[in-house]
Structure 1
């Protein structure tokens, strides 16, 4: 199965909003795959979903949300605080699902609840945050922010960490968590023998 958990990357003319919208679509596809499959296919799709969500949210917390707080028109702090709270709740739910595994009792219900929460969160970003970015941030800066988001995703943890959900928190502990997560991933990955 191809690694659909690798975040979409920006092309040379793509801006950060285009990139994040593509990732939202990718996340939605992975939820459908997890919900509609079983066995190893489900396990792999769930692992891809976890990694994509962790990288995507880390990048938004480091790059997008801090910028959104500073945009003209007011309300940026409240809007970002609401998105961060949604992200924290999703990370906690995701941790619970990871701990139980895809075969655990309650996984089916939990993944559907998580999907609904994550997609609602994405729609709020698409409706409120992204239009403000396009309105107030010059196009060339939006394109350069796509590169910044890509860089943040490369060094992001591969698992949810609700305690590190701000730009400062991610920058302070994110690299260490990313190393721990990547070592853990390597140890858990079956060898090709």
Structure 2
């Protein structure tokens, strides 16, 4: 347990671990079917939505003001996130056993993995260079707090800290309320 706690005290290590978790969940969704696939996909949607929202609230403002060329780095990442949220939102409404689902999922996976590599190359390396250990730890704490309040489903168009802070808590309550509602066996679309 100490290894997890130590990595969670560094925002870059925490985000890198989450990137690994995301890759593993994509693998699980692809290799399963039926209820198992639906469950794995729900976990993937939740992790992606929470992860991206927290990055938008904690990491992007730091990058924007502390990394050389940070404004463009942030704009590039936000564009990638918006596109991924749109695909994820489409997938979130599909039946995971629909033959088109895996094709769409693969496209999403390629986009998400390219986005993660871009974050690691153009953002995370610079965060390490421009933040001391105390700042990395405080950002990790802020990231965990943001994740606790983040929506658990994609909301395209909220790719900024201000929009996330304004809309995130409301969306999070609605998302979490939907998750706790009994499954009526319907198609998952409430309207």
Aligned to 2:9: 14
Instruction: Note the C-alpha offset of 1:11.
Output: 3.7
Aligned to 1:57: 52
TM-score normalised by length of structure 2: 0.91
Is the 1:10–1:146 Cα contact (8 Å) retained in structure 2? no
Instruction: Note the C-alpha offset of 1:119.
Output: 0.6
- The structure 2 residue matched to 1:48, chosen from 37, 43, 46, is 43
Aligned to 1:5: none
**Is the aligned partner of 1:158 residue 2:155?**
no
The separation in 2 between residues aligned to 1:67 and 1:101, in whole angstroms, is: 38
When residues 124 and 178 of structure 1 are mapped into structure 2, their CA distance, relative to the original with a 3 A threshold, is: same
The number of equivalent residue pairs is 181
The separation in 1 between residues aligned to 2:130 and 2:13, in whole angstroms, is: 16
Is the 1:101–1:107 Cα contact (8 Å) retained in structure 2? yes
Is the 2:11–2:140 Cα contact (8 Å) retained in structure 1? yes
SS at match of 1:88: helix
Aligned to 1:70: 65
The separation in 1 between residues aligned to 2:54 and 2:33, in whole angstroms, is: 30
Q: Which has the higher helix share?
A: 2
Is the 1:10–1:19 Cα contact (8 Å) retained in structure 2? no
Structure 1 stretches of at least 4 aligned residues deviating more than 2 Å after TM superposition: 9-14
TM-score normalised by length of structure 1: 0.90
Aligned to 1:146: 140
When residues 72 and 49 of structure 1 are mapped into structure 2, their CA distance, relative to the original with a 3 A threshold, is: closer
The separation in 2 between residues aligned to 1:88 and 1:188, in whole angstroms, is: 30
How well do the aligned residues superpose, as a CA RMSD in angstroms?
Answer: 1.5
Pairs within 5 Å for 1:10-159: 10-11=5-6, 14-73=9-68, 75-159=69-153
